[in-house]
Amino acid sequence: MTQEQSSLASTLRSALCSLGVVSLAAISGPEVFAQGMEDQSGSAAERMDLTYFGYARSGIGSSAKGGKQACFQAAGTPFKHRLGNECETYTEQGLQATLATDNGTVFQVNTRLSYKVDQQKDSENPSKDDNDFALREINIIAENLFPALPGAKLWAGKRYYRRHDIHQLDWFYWNVSGPGAGIEDIDAGFGKFHLAWIRNEADVFFDSSYDSGVEKILYKDRPIATNIIDLRLSDLKLTDNLALELGLNYGKGSPGDKVPDKKLYDKDGFMGTAQLTYSFPMGGYNSFVVQYATDAMTGPGLGEDGRTSQTSKWFDGSKMFRFLDFGQIPIMDRLDMTYVVAWTKMDYSDEIKKVAMAPDKLEWLTVGIRPQWKWSELTSTVLDLGFDKVKNGADFTIPLLGPKSGYIKAYDDSQLYKVTLAQQFHPRFGAMVRPVIRVFVTYANWDEIKCPAGAVNCNPSTAGVGGDKKLIAENFGKATDGITFGVQMEAWW
């Protein structure tokens, strides 16, 4: 490294560190900030051992016949096959600082902000329109506080807590992140034990007066804090290449003691997860997951992850079943691949079917494969194939005619195929290597669904898709397929 490069690196490091100091000052208060600045020995980065980390995606896209890029998603699915099918700019950026290493302990503070904007113009305010600006993490993790539990970590604050996801779908299927506290990485000899208390506030649906007909169906929502207890056993080594993780989540609504109708939305539920992961000798992995949830922990249904609970009495008796198999495997030196097969079934309670006119059940099957061919370490071609089918995924509202006001609901199945071809540029080859710049074209085909008699705002050509139906209708008219194209960057660090 030349002297000029060294000076530039030092300047950049100091700038990032200054950002971290200011961020911590804003959170901690002026007294802590002043005390930290009293120590003038060494650089701030050396004092704090600062790490800058994050994720980002952004780019430009369009629909083949004009209009901004539309993203394709089957009606009723909570997620979509994402490659060449993301229409926004999104980033998470964070700082981690080691604040102390005294007496054999390590204290770290972590912060993370996220931004999402529409990706349509130069200046986009994250706090307006459909954009989003959020504080996602601010926590302290302390290691080696207990001599009898070497390596164990005590933590408190807002945190991404031990999340599990399928990158191909951007789907966090086991995710109880939020404000909380816990202790993790307790060595049990045969594995590691983790215990956490986490809270998430959901808009819980409730209703205290409805008759056996449809005239008086009126439901409301109230923000209700849900306390979640998370118990896990991880690193259970069955063989050198096979490991098991087990988890149990218990969630219960926690309205104030004097809140009216408290008994309507203080219900509880469980979610159990078992994940078996095999590490291939040549690299890569395969994970097989089974999940089962009851009552409040079934949440809205198909996208349930452990935190989006619904603790109203409506959901008592609801059940969720899920099987997942996904992974990444380097088939040969020039061919790497990721894949996913997942099935989720939601059985609704009699109460929610009667009050909110939910269907008897929802079922979601998703299948995807993403092979990537290496031309050189710097460039590759990737093909992403995805299929979604949802039983009762398309829903319709039908107003009632006659002396009784109200409505009924009708449902139909939806399905969608999506294909993306992309040319990628990266520093080295690999399915999970980032950063990457990709030039892509995407084709999707979905079902036309017959509108029930009397259904409002129903377009047969868009009834089978989710997301921005208005945009899809504007771009593709009465067609049930469409093409988009664009250029996207993606990075994590």
Provide the angle, in degrees to the nearest 10, between the axes of the packed helices 30-38 and 3-28: 140
Q: Which of 355, 356, 299 is nearest to 322 (CA)?
A: 299
Q: Are 253 and 226 in contact (CB under 8 A)?
A: yes
The model's pLDDT over 60-112, given as tens digits with 9 standing for 90+, comes to 999 998 999 999 999 999 999 999 999 999 999 999 999 999 999 999 999 99
Residue with the two structure tokens 């051992």: 49
**How confident is the prediction along the chain (493 residues), in pLDDT tens digits per residue?**
444 444 434 443 444 444 444 444 444 444 444 444 444 444 545 567 899 999 999 999 999 989 999 999 999 999 999 999 999 999 999 999 999 999 999 999 999 999 999 999 898 887 776 789 999 999 999 999 999 999 999 999 999 999 999 999 999 999 999 999 999 999 999 999 999 999 998 887 765 454 444 444 455 677 888 999 999 999 999 999 999 999 999 999 999 888 887 888 899 999 999 999 999 999 999 999 999 999 999 977 677 788 878 888 888 999 999 999 999 999 999 999 999 999 999 999 988 888 778 898 999 999 999 999 999 999 999 999 999 999 999 999 888 876 666 788 899 999 999 999 999 999 999 999 999 999 999 999 999 999 999 898 899 999 999 989 999 999 999 999 999 999 999 999 9
Q: Which CATH number fits domain 144-358: 3.40.50.261, 2.160.10.10, 2.40.170.10, 2.60.120.10?
A: 2.40.170.10
Q: Which residues contact 2 (CB under 8 A, 6 or more apart)?
A: none
Helix (H) or strand (E) holding 410: strand 407-425
CA distance 303 to 322: 10
CA distance 279 to 328: 10
pLDDT at 129: 67
| Triad 408, 304, 431: Cα angle to 5° | 125
Q: Are 160 and 184 in contact (CB under 8 A)?
A: no
Rg (CA), the chain: 25
CA distance 479 to 381: 29
Beta bridge mates, 62: 68, 485
Q: Which residues contact 417 (CB under 8 A, 6 or more apart)?
A: 386, 387, 444, 445, 446
Phi/psi for 12 (5° steps) reads: -60, -45
What is the CB neighbour count within 10 angstroms for residue 90?
17
